[in-house]
Amino acid sequence: MPEFKNPNQGGGGQDNRSFLVLIVVMFAVILGTQYWRAKHPSTTPDANTTATTQTAAAPASAPSAPPADAAVTSTVPVVQAAAETTTVVENELYKITFSNRGGAVTSWILKGVTDSTGKPLDMVNAEGSKKFGYPLSLHTYDPALTQNLAQALYVPSTTGKLEAPATLTYEYSAGNITVHKTYSFDADYVVHASATVQRNGAPIRALFSWTGGLGDMDSLTAYNMAVLDTSITGKDEHIEPKKVSSGSTLAGPFDFAGVSDQYFAVIFMPDQPSDSTVRTLYNQMEVQNQVKSSGSRFSASKTGGTVPVIGAAVGNVSGNNQVRLFVGPKSLTVLKSIKTVDGNNLGTVLDFGFWGPIGKALFLGLHFVQEHIASNWGWAIILFTVFINVLILPLRVQGMRSMLKMQRIQPQTDAIKAKYGNPKPTDPKMAEMNAEVMALQKEHGVSMFGGCIPTLIQFPLLFAFYTMMTRVVELRHAHWFWLHDLSLADPYHILPIMMVATSFLAQYYTPSPGVDPAQQRMMAFMMPAFSGWMTWQYASGLALYWNVGNIILILQQQVMNRTALGKEMREIAAKRAKAKTIGKPTAGKTIQGRK
């Protein structure tokens, strides 16, 4: 930063009394103005004052601070390093490299975690950080000052290597700016950071930032899956990139705020939530697209694209910024172990989507099986699928009984419909016909939804399992035989091909009496095609779960088809099919339940 000279030190030789009086009056006005402003904060917020109160739903941009080249009234002793140096801090979970240029992070390696190429995962996105700023750089509402603070060479308390628990400080001062940054490290994923920035002795609001994206973003899709996570007094939000407004200031109180992607998170937790604010940052950059080629490996494609890079700057309005920062995997166990100031935890950072409660319950059950029965995640999925299907077996039996009851009264139902001449939905007779049909069903203890219960249960489980499989970091790079990553699609498409076969057989062996033969034939081919397409593109863990469920369904249905219940259903279905084809040309063979 350029050095500014005090006007009192100018050497013009003009020491007459009027000039001295003018100087004294000028200083008195300046000091008096600063004192008055300190006692009476301006109602118009700037970089040194509180942002206008806003909500996360409707953020507004904070006003600009005075420019960096504004008139200077004092100078401070110069404290800055002569050359760039690094300090490496390690514990069992991470290895962080700090640079004294800006007192920021240039590398944040998570130990025991690998990227898509098998190398240790660095949470710092090199390309994004180079363009938009390195992690834990100080962000102010004055772009020029922010740039100066990021480029300045701070004086570190130590260089070389530190083993946690440890403390690292950075000092810098020049012109009229003084900066002090302190980082504290312990045995977990959390780092405590504090910073004070002063101009002419007055505090400036300077926020800790993470603006360049996360280091595991190696595809266009990964950037678009990033979200801005916030929690205001227990109300959590996960904001998509397209809804992030760049430069907006959100007023707290924030329990936490940060950025996360599919499997990892960077979350700030203010020491004083009531005074906390978040500035949302949105940028774009061109990156080379990456496509999944096999398993967990990636190969570069010839095309690139523009991706959103969202970030957050977090701090408080006092000018003495103190936050804790979590940088790590979105493991539910890990997140729940990280407590916020109000006593809550970061568990809600892991969002299971629309079917959240079901997805979370499925993961907890799967995790229990993996932890206590089968250490391999693939075998855990298989055993857990067996367990789920055993639980819903009574519902399948009840569904068959409901379908059988429905078929027993089907002739009477048909007679009622014939009596009313099969009226159109808009015909007033439709309500009378439906009332009579419902009375008949009630008389015989038939529920019109009874046969649908197994399907109504299985579909939410399937969609919740799919969402869960693509969001839990534990399944990332999890191996099972030829599958190198259960969170990615089967590279050899073995499971999708099996999916088509098992889905067809499940349709073939499941009796559907009363269903139109044309509809049966359509479903017999459409469902396998749909399931094959789904598993061809998405997580192989989902394909494994679905295939095992189909195999169990086929075996269960084979047994049930040999019971008195199954035999009666097939007899009724055969009679109805024969009655419908008498005097009519054969339209095609009906897909029906088999022995």
Tens-place pLDDT, residues 162-197: 999 999 999 999 999 999 999 999 999 999 999 999
Q: Mean pLDDT of all residues in the chain?
A: 82
Cα(281)–Cα(246) distance, integer angstroms: 4
Q: DSSP characters for 120-189?
A: EEE-B-HHHHHHH--TT-EE-S-HHHHHHHHHSB-EES--EEEESSEEEEEEEEETTEEEEEEEEE-SSS
Cα(430)–Cα(419) distance, integer angstroms: 11
- What are the sequence ranges of the domains in the chain? 86-351, 360-409+444-581
Predicted confidence at residue 294, as pLDDT, reads: 36
Per cent of the chain over pLDDT 70 is 78
Tens-place pLDDT, residues 254-278: 999 999 999 999 999 999 999 999 9
> Using only C-alpha atoms, what is the Rg of the chain?
33
Predicted confidence at residue 74, as pLDDT, reads: 65
Per cent of the chain over pLDDT 90 is 52
How far, in whole angstroms, is CA 462 from its chain's centroid? 20
Predicted confidence at residue 516, as pLDDT, reads: 58
Amino acid at 585: P
Predicted confidence at residue 178, as pLDDT, reads: 96
Tens-place pLDDT, residues 390-428: 998 888 888 777 777 877 887 888 888 888 887 887 888
Quick one: average pLDDT of 115-131?
Answer: 93
With contact defined as beta carbons under 8 Å apart, do 329 and 431 qualify?
no
Quick one: average pLDDT of 526-542?
Answer: 89
With contact defined as beta carbons under 8 Å apart, do 550 and 502 qualify?
yes
Quick one: average pLDDT of 429-434?
Answer: 86
pLDDT above 60: residue 502: yes
With contact defined as beta carbons under 8 Å apart, do 340 and 346 qualify?
yes
**Block residue for tokens 């977090």:** 314
pLDDT above 90: residue 288: no
Predicted confidence at residue 508, as pLDDT, reads: 81
Note if the pTM is more than 0.85: no
Query: In b/e form, how buried is each residue of 349-371, taking b as 16+ CB within 10 angstroms?
Result: bbbbeebeebbbebbeebbebbe
Helices (H), 344-409: 356-372, 377-408
Token representation of residue 452: 């649908």
pLDDT above 90: residue 542: yes
Quick one: average pLDDT of 286-299?
Answer: 51
Predicted confidence at residue 99, as pLDDT, reads: 98
Architecture (CATH level 2) of domain 86-351: Distorted Sandwich (2.70)
Tens-place pLDDT, residues 73-106: 568 899 999 999 999 999 999 999 999 999 999 9
Q: Are strands 160-163 and 86-90 parallel, antiparallel or unpaired?
A: parallel
